[in-house]
Structure 1
Amino acid sequence: MAELMLFRHDPDGRDVELSGSTVTLEVELQRRVEAGLEQMLGIRFLASEYPTGPWHRGRIDTLGLDENGSPVVIEFKKGSDSGVLSQAVSYLSWLDSAHYEFEALVRNVLGAEAAETIDWRRPRMVCVAAGFSHHDRVAVQRLRERIDLVRYRIFDGGLLGLLLVDSPNGIPSAASSRRGREQATVDAVPRTPATSPPAGGGAVPECLRDLYAELDEALTVWGEVEVAPLRHYIAYRRLVNVASVVFRPKHEAILVYLRLDPDSVELEEGFTRDMRGIGHLGTGDLEVRVASAAHLEKAAPLIRRAFEAA
């Protein structure tokens, strides 16, 4: 299993490894992550300790809605717990039976617009724990549910480290809700230049297929990257969305929205744009316009910076 390590660079030039530990109380970890939930995991907070009723007989640590509109159940374990996956499946089963209850919660907390854009095809479970067994990692690859395994460590100085251990895509749900049935027609397909992921309800535009194949390679070269085809864009994510891809066939261009601070970039008219405060499809504050191989080459350092910071 991957080990999360953190080093401090001392004034004398030495790199000193910081010792990692776990929390004493589970609620300590829960409250800390909830306080920075959107920044850490790209998830908007809905509720804590949410009861699942007499049949499921549970209390969900945290409920949220991620940046792509997927419902999220989060469970925290201060140590390693072999029962976390059965708990995950049980809570996702509750979620599947509680569409209207969940939508009402989103409407009350985040507003009507957020409730109208819930994507029921891929609800997520995020398990945050001190560690996971080999059997846990094998099991999440076999389950149809989408379950993210996230390992945590507390370091000297109060630093919190999160490491994504596994994040299988899961199998899209048939979705029983009205919006779910409308969205169920947009499913992921094998990602090759000949059959690229759909976006906006259709395949990659013919005029952009070759360029997208090169862009896709540039976005997935950075190790474990999940590619999630959504209704209006394609998300490239780790713990959070790092890049979102939107096609503009009329302009024979692809817009890439990166999770990168526009203030750290020398903006160039017609190529990069600060999107803070400007509504757009996808997520990310920096827009990069890719219309040619030359544009893609210029975009490569920005893509690298976004993924290195993720």
Structure 2
Amino acid sequence: MSGLRLFSTASGVTEVMPRLAEVEAEVQDLIEANMQAMLGVRFLASEYSTGPVHGGRIDSLGIDENGAPVVVEFKRGTDAGVIHQGLYYMSWLMDHKAEFRHLVRDRLGATAAAQVLWSAPRLICVAGDFTRYDVHAVREHRRSIDLVRYRFFGTEHIGLETVASVSGRPVGPGACRRRRAADVQGGTRADTDKAMAELAAAVDEVLLGLGDDITKVANRTYLAYQRLRNFACVCPPRQTKLLVYLKADPKEVDLVPGFTRDVTGLGHHGTGDLEVQLRTERDLERAQELFRFSYAVA
């Protein structure tokens, strides 16, 4: 990993040396077996054939927590072709939507298949390393691409580091404001609506400002802010409050009635078990530590 050194303190201090996988399948098998925990993606299929015409096999297919289709490509070391290969498979995927929906329906059910988010397909490349040319290249594409560097440490640990993360269809910071503009024109609570729209824009600015590896995805019912996984989901303003759902563990937070709530097991839009209710800019200031905590654990 870039600049990361890991030490064991079991008996004194001993450095655990990083290593690459012996073969590509070593890292692929591990991540496929734990894809939701490691990448925030529900695993669908391995070595998925694109048929005799295209003549290829997608390393892994999945669907993320927002319903977006995900192509995952693995390379043991550094491979200049991994991005282009992945983009080729993404193009195939967009031309075979019915086949993908059928796969989702078989694995996850009809409801999941009906909610596939085709506006935000993703490519995740997991490799031993990437060059600066790779990092530059992903910023020139119009697709959502994550470059993830891995390293094994000893026999019991693996590290994942996001080298670059680019959103193919960014939703501008003013999206929430524009969404509410029509309501303001036709509603009777213009002042309240305007205040909520301004609060939503401020939340957007704070969340995006937490790091340069954040992408934003517009789902049908919320805006998701993600690294590899969602760390915050913001629902459209409702009357006098804005609801934000975080991946922070509610058990590790001092819950405040009217401000934070444990929604584990309760139905709600977005992902995350900690609900934060924002009504004023002051609430946003109080929430920023929780935002940073959720960002750190995502």
CA distance in 1, matches of 2:11, 2:87: 50
> What does residue 244 of structure 1 align with?
233
> What does residue 309 of structure 1 align with?
297
1:217 aligns with 2:205: yes
CA distance in 1, matches of 2:123, 2:178: 24
1:190 aligns with 2:188: no
User: How far apart are residue 244 of structure 1 and its match?
Assistant: 0.4
Contact 2:233 2:271 in 1 (8 A): yes
User: How far apart are residue 265 of structure 1 and its match?
Assistant: 1.4
Q: CA distance change for structure 1 residues 11 and 92 in 2, over 3 Å: closer, same or farther? A: closer
Stretches of 4+ moved more than 4 A in 1? 11-14, 195-205
> What does residue 97 of structure 1 align with?
95
Contact 1:196 1:203 in 2 (8 A): no
1:10 partner letter? T
Q: SS of the counterpart of 1:260?
A: coil
Q: CA distance change for structure 1 residues 137 and 263 in 2, over 3 Å: closer, same or farther? A: same
Corresponding residue pairs, total: 289
Q: SS of the counterpart of 2:264?
A: coil
Contact 1:20 1:155 in 2 (8 A): yes
Q: CA distance change for structure 1 residues 132 and 5 in 2, over 3 Å: closer, same or farther? A: same
2:136 partner letter? V
CA distance in 1, matches of 2:165, 2:284: 28
1:65 aligns with 2:47: no
Q: CA distance change for structure 1 residues 123 and 110 in 2, over 3 Å: closer, same or farther? A: same
My pick for the range that moved more, 156-165 or 200-209, is 200-209
Percent of residue pairs identical: 44
- The C-alpha deviation readout for 1:18-49, integer Å capped at 9, x for no partner, is 32111001111011111211111110111111
CA distance in 2, matches of 1:201, 1:129: 44
Q: CA distance change for structure 1 residues 100 and 142 in 2, over 3 Å: closer, same or farther? A: same
Query: Normalising by the residue count of structure 1, what TM-score does the alignment of the two structures yield?
Result: 0.86
Q: CA distance change for structure 1 residues 99 and 254 in 2, over 3 Å: closer, same or farther? A: same
1:274 aligns with 2:262: yes
Residue segments in structure 1 that go unaligned for 5+ positions in a row: 172-187
Contact 1:201 1:231 in 2 (8 A): no
CA distance in 1, matches of 2:146, 2:54: 21
User: How far apart are residue 201 of structure 1 and its match?
Assistant: 12
Q: SS of the counterpart of 2:111?
A: helix
Find 1:288's aligned residue among 242, 263, 276: 276
> What does residue 178 of structure 1 align with?
none
> What does residue 174 of structure 1 align with?
none
User: How far apart are residue 106 of structure 1 and its match?
Assistant: 0.3
User: How far apart are residue 216 of structure 1 and its match?
Assistant: 2.2
Contact 2:176 2:236 in 1 (8 A): no
Q: SS of the counterpart of 1:165?
A: strand
Query: Normalising by the residue count of structure 2, what TM-score does the alignment of the two structures yield?
Result: 0.89
1:190 partner letter? G
1:117 partner letter? Q
